[in-house]
Structure 1
């Protein structure tokens, strides 16, 4: 279980020098949960949307490894948030119970890390059902 109630950007540690950039992700107070699942999304057309759902319990961390995405979120209270992930050292912590829509730029690679294994019953895929919470 996690204690995140609002989405937020965190900066990932890294080493940048003439041979390139190395960014990494380690267990820390910034992310105090074990990663149980990871996946990446590629080849989404320019302007294409992914997400378009919420999770009841799952918290995710999103990182645009290449390209950029706009992440539009809505909380159960009606709060709205928008984030641009456009650098591989920028990560978005996306808590449970936020309706998400992720809009892709061309050739983006989005990495998603999760604190839960896949469970279809954790998904809310109908916006009207989400609005009832």
Structure 2
């Protein structure tokens, strides 16, 4: 699984920190940005994989877990630092859960929305991976 945590450069200041994402931080051009918020702590998001799209997920506030599955192994990553993001390549099933109160999950995507790019059925995902 080629999932990785990427440190986002930050400028520390007594007035507050500033994190900067420029073209060399993530390995794709950003074509879509969205964020999740007010997610109940017992809910989950995701539950799909992408054929082409890559994502970079950043916990802007609070914390949440990302469960990743490449068809062979599963791993759980907790995100809770706004200067560290999770790069998810194509072909990885993801679920996001365990949202803390006030959590905000920012997602930078390599492609615009296309329903055809989604694999929403886990059995179909396993077939896609074999």
Q: TM-score, normalised by structure 2?
A: 0.93
The answer (yes or no) to whether the contact 2:26–2:56 under 8 Å persists in 1 is no
Question: Alignment RMSD, CA only?
Answer: 1.1
Partner of 1:42: 37
Q: How does 1:1-133 map to 2 (within 5 A)?
A: 6-28=2-24, 30-76=25-71, 78-103=72-97, 104-133=99-128
Distance, in Å, in 1 between the alignment partners of 2:59 and 2:117 is: 24
- For structure 2, the 5+ residue unaligned runs are none
Q: TM-score, normalised by structure 1?
A: 0.91
Distance, in Å, in 2 between the alignment partners of 1:65 and 1:100 is: 19
Aligned residues: 127
The answer (yes or no) to whether the contact 1:47–1:105 under 8 Å persists in 2 is no
What's the CA shift string for 1:3-46, capped at 9, x where partnerless? xx611001000111210111110111x42321000001111001
Where is the strand percentage greater, Structure 1 or Structure 2? 1
